[in-house]
Amino acid sequence: MELNGKIALVTGASSGIGAATALKLAAAGAKVGLAARRVDRLDKLADRIETSGGEAIAIEMDVVDRASVEAGVAKLVQAFGGLDIVFNNAGLMPISDVEALKVDEWHRMVDVNVKGLMNSTAATLPHLIERGSGHIVNTSSIAGRKVFAGLAVYCATKHAVSAFTEGLRLEVGKKHNIRVTSIQPGAVDTELFEHISDEGYRGQMEGLRDQMSFLSGDNIADTVMFALQAPAHVNVAELFVLPTDQPW
């Protein structure tokens, strides 16, 4: 896809992978809707993009709230006149053993990682269908392919994302000329660790930084751009991206 002039929505755009991808989309000439709850960060990112000659709009959005998502998508479409690319990237990763029974954290993960992605898909897909083209990119994880102790619920949510993404591709690819991609990163230096309330697991995850060279948000953004910029007849369905020295 030629990205110049395309209109993109990025959820989870206030930091990490989302922010890095938004910057690369804007640099390639796309008009970008920056969606997240932390509007102050979005405003700064939009200013940075516009200072560099790009176009962006900050959109306060809580993906768990359907009305918030629908209003945010409507704001983007009204501002830029349509929608071509959706990057469903918002997510949480608290870690704990199941027997710790941190049920509130389980529900929050399901709400954000699964229901939030579905809310965003439901609000944006009609616009892509109307266009007769488009690309949806969903952030899954290595946890959407493998299962790890302490990550039972997170893995369940990311397996759900992987399954939903592939099912969506099968349904809308040929019928509506919409490409669908699942991005499955390994260890990435993002804010996800900040969501871990279990001190033992948080220490373990932080300790991984001494064992391998974490990927950066820019690395995953480059992966997203590769999928988006593939020739129109090519759908990069899955991209599994790991640090070279990640052993698991």
Instruction: For residue 55, tell me if it sits in a domain.
Output: yes
Question: How many alpha carbons lie under 13 Å from residue 109 in its C-beta half-sphere?
Answer: 25
The whole-number pLDDT of residue 203 equals 75
Identify the helix (H) or strand (E) that includes residue 31.
strand 31-36
Q: Of 80, 87, 106, 154, which one is the catalytic site residue?
A: 154
Instruction: Give the mean pLDDT of 181-190.
Output: 94
Task: Note the pLDDT tens digit of each residue in 200-231.
Answer: 777 777 778 888 899 999 999 999 999 999 99
| DSSP at 66 | H
pLDDT of the residue at 190: 79
Residue 2 lies in a domain: no
Looking at the domain assignment, is residue 23 inside a domain? yes
pLDDT at 19 over 90: yes
**Catalytic annotation on 154?**
yes
> Within a domain: residue 72?
yes
Q: How many domains does the chain have?
A: 1
Residue in the block written with tokens 């560099």:
52
Q: What pLDDT is recorded for position 208?
A: 80
In a domain, 247, yes or no: no
155: left (phi over 0), alpha (psi -120 to 50) or beta: alpha
Mean pLDDT of 71-88: 98
Q: What pLDDT, on the 0 to 100 scale, is given for residue 207?
A: 74
Residue 91 near residue 42 (C-beta atoms within 8 A)? no
Q: Does a structural domain hold residue 73? A: yes
To the question of pTM greater than 0.75 for the whole model, the response is yes
pLDDT tens track for 106-143 = 999 999 999 999 999 999 999 999 999 999 999 999 99
Domain of residue 85: give its range: 7-241
Q: Tell me the mean pLDDT in the region 163-172.
A: 98
Of 4-8, 157-161, 193-197, 236-240, the poorest mean pLDDT is in 193-197
Percent of the chain that is helix, strand, coil (3-state, to 5)? 50, 15, 30
Q: Which CATH number covers residue 207?
A: 3.40.50.720
The pLDDT assigned to 191 comes to 67
Q: Assess if residue 1 is contained within a domain.
A: no
Region 78-104 average pLDDT: 96
The answer, yes or no, to whether residue 195 has pLDDT greater than 70, is no
The three-class DSSP label of residue 9 is: strand
User: Tokens 């660790």, residue?
Assistant: 193
pLDDT at residue 92, as a whole number: 92
- What average pLDDT does the chain have? 95
